[in-house]
Structure 1
């Protein structure tokens, strides 16, 4: 598998990442081991997790596989902190909470550092400079090698990046993790331009449109799918609309013409978008993951890429377009 630099840093990661959101909950240790082995055998290195996945269970499960199945040095481990199970406060970006969460993550992971530590989401109740100071401390103490953010909108990302680069000694942001797929291109309005301008690499979560771009929902909701799950049904439902159907039909048509699968067409499209360092894949089984990893042999022809661009194009008008001609 090809390796890419995360933004303008020296950190190299595989251009496909392995997500662990369902590990420790829907994916047990045996299945997780199978997934990790398939991923590593394909040349993958980037494994993404978070302290809230299965209430820390995903990190702990990953620790059970490190060294036993794969040397720690061969993995690029990314984790997140900042989401909290508080009815009155969804995110806590305070320095105290973040650093405590990092220490707890390291204990669960059984390692003394993570390669990439990310703030899970913007906290409007904490000054941004306090949140970012926690990132500086994580790197200066050796607990994190690189840092980033997740789910920051365009102005938040631009402000955070500018703050980190404004004074020598602060740690520049290496990456941002955002949902991005043919069904969700909202980040192209402001987040992606901000990331490109600042040299921040993008990790694309839900690159298969929460599973909808595999085309398995074209003729109904399979009973064993996320869409039928009480946990994830509401997560999938927004993409099962008329616009989603048109995009999935176009992906399926392209797949037929290329003698491949809709999954691989959708994944190849997002993998090769400007600014994307790596899509982060989530799978229930090693077989599903293996099918996704086969995308390494696929590059979309320009005409198909352009057709998918057109049918999935978001509505971006003012101020994205040049309106000077109106005055």
Structure 2
């Protein structure tokens, strides 16, 4: 699998990442092992997790599988901290919480460092410089090799990255930002993606298949074994089942027919090759689904198809993005 630099850093990652959101909850150890082994066999390196996935079970499961299946040095392990399962405070970017969460993650993962540590969300109740000082301390201690953020808006990302760049050598350059990005969700193109491109920050798209909708599985209804049929996950899928989304899915299916491939491949190749993207993070229920996603490696979409998909999925951006110079 092709390797790409993560932003303006020396860290290289496979251009498809393996997501573990469901590990330890909907994905058991056997299926997780099959996924990790198949991913590594295909040349994949980037494995993305978080301290809150499965209440910590995703990290624990990944830690058990590393070394027994895949050499630790062959993986780029990325995890996150900052989200908390607390009804009164869902985000905690304080120095104390982040560093304690990192120690707990390392213990569950069974490693003394993570390759990429990401602040899971912006915390408006904590000074941003305190959050970033925790990041710098984690890197200086050797427990973290590279740092990034997740779910930061455009101004939040620009503020954080600029703060870090203000003291070269003393502060850690942000390597990445993780955001939802797909043909059904292009909102980051308004401010987040331009900021990332300007500041040399690599984008790790989550939900690159539009929460599964872009595979076409919902075109004739909701499959009984899908997320959309799950009481817990149906609200996650439902926003992408409207008429506007259906038009995009139909266009993806048409493109797939013309290329003799699958809608999954078309949708994944589109986001993988967008400007600024380092590696879409793909989560799969089982090894078979993951193998299908990884087989996209050889596909590059023709310009005409990329342009047609751009047009049918284009978000509406007016002021201040519209050119008002002639008004």
Q: Deviations over 1:24-77 (max 9, x none)?
A: 000011100000111011100000000000000000000111110011000000
Residue aligning to 1:18: 18
Q: Deviations over 1:282-324 (max 9, x none)?
A: 0000000000111001000000000000000000111112211
Counterparts of residues 175-214 of structure 1 (less than 5 Å): 175-214=176-215
> Secondary structure of the equivalent of 1:277?
coil
Residue aligning to 2:264: 263
Counterparts of residues 153-164 of structure 1 (less than 5 Å): 153-164=153-164
- 1:28 has 2:28 as partner: yes
- 1:147 has 2:153 as partner: no
Separation in 2, partners of 1:254, 1:24: 36
TM-score after normalising by structure 2: 0.99
Residue aligning to 2:119: 119
Residue aligning to 2:57: 57
Aligned residue pairs, count: 326
Q: Deviations over 1:187-227 (max 9, x none)?
A: 00000000000000000000000000000000000011000
Separation in 2, partners of 1:315, 1:12: 34
- 1:129 has 2:129 as partner: yes
- 1:244 has 2:245 as partner: yes
- 1:324 has 2:325 as partner: yes
Residue aligning to 1:291: 292
- 1:69 has 2:69 as partner: yes
Separation in 2, partners of 1:193, 1:107: 37
Separation in 2, partners of 1:137, 1:231: 37
Separation in 2, partners of 1:42, 1:316: 39
Q: Deviations over 1:207-258 (max 9, x none)?
A: 0000000000000000110001011100000000000000000000000000
Counterparts of residues 36-55 of structure 1 (less than 5 Å): 36-55=36-55
More off after superposition, 47-56 vs 165-174: 165-174
Residue aligning to 1:97: 97
Residue aligning to 1:215: 216
Separation in 2, partners of 1:255, 1:59: 36
> Secondary structure of the equivalent of 1:237?
helix
Structure 1's unaligned 5+ residue stretches are none
> Secondary structure of the equivalent of 2:47?
strand
Q: Deviations over 1:170-199 (max 9, x none)?
A: 001000000000000000000000000000
Structure 2's unaligned 5+ residue stretches are none
Cα deviation, residue 87, structure 1? 0.6
Separation in 2, partners of 1:224, 1:67: 32
Cα deviation, residue 110, structure 1? 0.2
Separation in 1, partners of 2:12, 2:62: 20
Separation in 2, partners of 1:303, 1:324: 30
Residue aligning to 1:3: 3
> Secondary structure of the equivalent of 2:275?
coil
> Secondary structure of the equivalent of 2:223?
coil
Separation in 2, partners of 1:315, 1:121: 26
